[in-house]
Structure 1
Amino acid sequence: MEAKLLQSLHLTTWTGSDSMFPIPNNSMGLCTRFDKKRRVNMLKCNLERSIKPVIGHRAAGLKVSCTSQNPPASVLESGTVTTEEDLVLKKKSEEIEPCLSGRCIYLVGMMGSGKTTIGQILSEVLGYSFFDSDKLIEQSVGGTAVADIFKLRGEAFFRHNETEVLHKLSSMRRLVVSTGGGAVVRPINWKYMHKGISVFIDVPLDALAQRLTAVGTASRPLLHHESGDAYTQTLKRLSKLWEDRSEAYGNAHVRVSLERIAAKLGLGDVCCINPTQIAIEALIQIEDYLKK
């Protein structure tokens, strides 16, 4: 059944990308723990091809997180080194996966909030497939970058095709989907995402501005390049986007607040939180939602 659905995923007008970008090791969103020797298969697509997902297989042991915040490591029977946080993540995923009953997980949040990295981690531990909706759109038009799509065709064209992507994906099961930051603005998109479980990754705007400024905003079409201090201008633009989208983010079934995670862990700065900790909190919040 899933194979047939994948074969039907032909997108003839797609156009986006909200993939993760390189940031310093101590920043909250980047972790290479799943990059090396990852058991995935993404086939390049064009207008005539079907789009195949990145497949996340459950590993016998999880790989070491790349931050210094993790407790001392232990070794699983498989010989793979893993941290205590990884073990917690694995245990929690095994508890929750049967309760999901195959429902998809949709990650929403502002640009740069780490949706792709968190989505990859969740898909691996749950044994789900992973999709980045912006990447699917990019690949379908021969690799055209989101910024270029916005420039050449406009935001309305992109949003229309974003909706079609979510429509197609919503007919599938056992997926983790990383959506673009603005996917929440169209009510029709919520109709599709609410077929699964939507998870809002809530990151303070100042932390997002620091991250985006550090890596540059050239690939972010909605962050206009203006004169003046880069951080100040980025924060200003993010604040305007937040005003337009904050109410829409409230439609998510689950909210994962980095400020709440920092408080629980006794951390003074959300930038000290690593992706594993965010993924654990996401599973905890999903579990709470499922119990309602």
Structure 2
Amino acid sequence: MKTMCSPVLQINAAVSLEKPTVHGFNPKGKKEDGLLVANLNSKSRKKFNLVLSNSLKECNGNSCASLDGNWFLKHKGKEVASCLNDRCIFLVGMMGSGKTTVGKVLSEALGYSFVDSDKYVEQVVGAASVTEIFNEWGEAYFRDNESEALRTLSLMPQQVVATGGGAVIRPINWVYMKQGITVYLNVPLDALARRIAAVGTDSRPLLHFDSGDPYIKAFMGLFTMSKKRSDSYSNADVTVSLLDLADSLALEDVSDLTPADIAAEVLVEIEKYISGENKRRCLCLRC
């Protein structure tokens, strides 16, 4: 069946909790059964959520939204994985942007392994935390080990790698990460500051100050870092704006997004990127 564009959806009242029965209408107006929700963009998924939640009265709590999200992730993950040729996915973004949380969901959808590069460095160095490495040996020592970690990880297939926020500042790291596909999680500074202030800055050596309001400390530190790193983040193959995603799903705040919401959007954007790669390759072959 061909991928549908902006389909009209109906949900069978006897939907299975394992695989929803979806009826759609193709561009010619002909009804088709079994329309793949995995072909929908975020706006279409929003419509699907609304219809699904109104149709399945017997669902409790978030089970309807969970049904849609889990089914979408499973099928879209398989589709994207089949086109990646075992390439790794490197998630980049500011500290607190959710790279680790989203990365775990993404790796499960793709059938990939998950690696947190900070944890990898900690294990190699034999330190309990990144903060300990900074305090004992300094930032430069950590960055050297971070680069070596990314070099090693870039040689391994089928991995989702959550990188540290500062991994983007060294050009050599981009050489390693570009062996796979790089995805930038773009989160508003206000949301990042709120997240970090809520859990404290003890594990954030570049933001850990002795006194002051936690939110203000976090926001000012993040603002300074973002000015230095914004150009580097633009090198990513794919950018997922959480602000745009929340707006497309009619959510009031990016904090209302679930890791599954973000992982699903990452898959959609990676698929678009791969499609663009294929088109560029075809054009080159014609030259």
**Would you call these one fold, judging by a TM-score over 0.5?**
yes
Q: Does 1:208 align with 2:179?
A: no
Q: Does 1:277 align with 2:261?
A: yes
Contact (CA 8 Å) 1:226, 1:233: kept in 2 or not? no
Q: Distance in 2 between matches of 1:284 and 1:83?
A: 18
Q: CA deviation at 1:137?
A: 1.0
For 1:218, what is the secondary structure of its paired residue? coil
**Equivalent residue, structure 1, for 2:95:** 111
* Residue identity in the other structure for 1:199: V
**Equivalent residue, structure 2, for 1:146:** 130
Count of residues in correspondence between the two structures: 219
Q: Deviations over 1:126-175 (max 9, x none)?
A: 11111111101112233421111101111001001100001111111111
Aligned-residue sequence identity (percent) comes to: 53
**Equivalent residue, structure 1, for 2:246:** 262
Runs of at least 4 residues off by over 3 Å: 69-75
Q: Distance in 1 between matches of 2:212 and 2:88?
A: 42
Q: Does 1:252 align with 2:236?
A: yes
Contact (CA 8 Å) 1:224, 1:237: kept in 2 or not? no
- Of 196, 212, 224, the residue aligned with 2:180 is 196
Stretch deviating more after TM superposition (193-202 or 92-101): 92-101
For 1:199, what is the secondary structure of its paired residue? strand
Q: Does 1:100 align with 2:84?
A: yes
- Of 98, 111, 122, the residue aligned with 1:127 is 111
Q: Does 1:157 align with 2:141?
A: yes
**Equivalent residue, structure 2, for 1:87:** 71
1:2-17 alignment, distance < 5 Å: none
Q: Deviations over 1:64-119 (max 9, x none)?
A: xxxxx9976999xxxxx952111111111111111111110000001011101111
* TM-score, normalised with respect to structure 2: 0.73
Q: Deviations over 1:217-236 (max 9, x none)?
A: 01100003153322112100
Q: Distance in 2 between matches of 1:143 and 1:121?
A: 27
* TM-score, normalised with respect to structure 1: 0.72
Contact (CA 8 Å) 1:131, 1:178: kept in 2 or not? yes
* Residue identity in the other structure for 2:171: P
For 1:130, what is the secondary structure of its paired residue? strand
**Equivalent residue, structure 2, for 1:239:** 223
Contact (CA 8 Å) 2:127, 2:133: kept in 1 or not? no
Contact (CA 8 Å) 1:166, 1:192: kept in 2 or not? yes
Contact (CA 8 Å) 2:117, 2:164: kept in 1 or not? yes
Q: Deviations over 1:184-207 (max 9, x none)?
A: 000000000001000001110000
1:180-191 alignment, distance < 5 Å: 180-191=164-175
Q: Distance in 1 between matches of 2:78 and 2:153?
A: 24
Q: CA deviation at 1:211?
A: 0.6
Q: Which runs of 5+ in 1 are unaligned?
A: 1-68, 76-80
Q: Distance in 2 between matches of 1:254 and 1:280?
A: 13
Q: Distance in 1 between matches of 2:125 and 2:210?
A: 29
Contact (CA 8 Å) 1:107, 1:199: kept in 2 or not? yes
Contact (CA 8 Å) 2:118, 2:164: kept in 1 or not? yes
Q: Report the aligned-residue RMSD.
A: 2.0
Q: Distance in 2 between matches of 1:227 and 1:125?
A: 42
Q: Which runs of 5+ in 2 are unaligned?
A: 1-48, 60-64, 277-287
Q: Distance in 2 between matches of 1:171 and 1:141?
A: 20
**Equivalent residue, structure 2, for 1:31:** none
- Of 270, 275, 278, the residue aligned with 1:291 is 275
**Equivalent residue, structure 2, for 1:229:** 213
**Structure (1 or 2) with the greater helix fraction:** 2
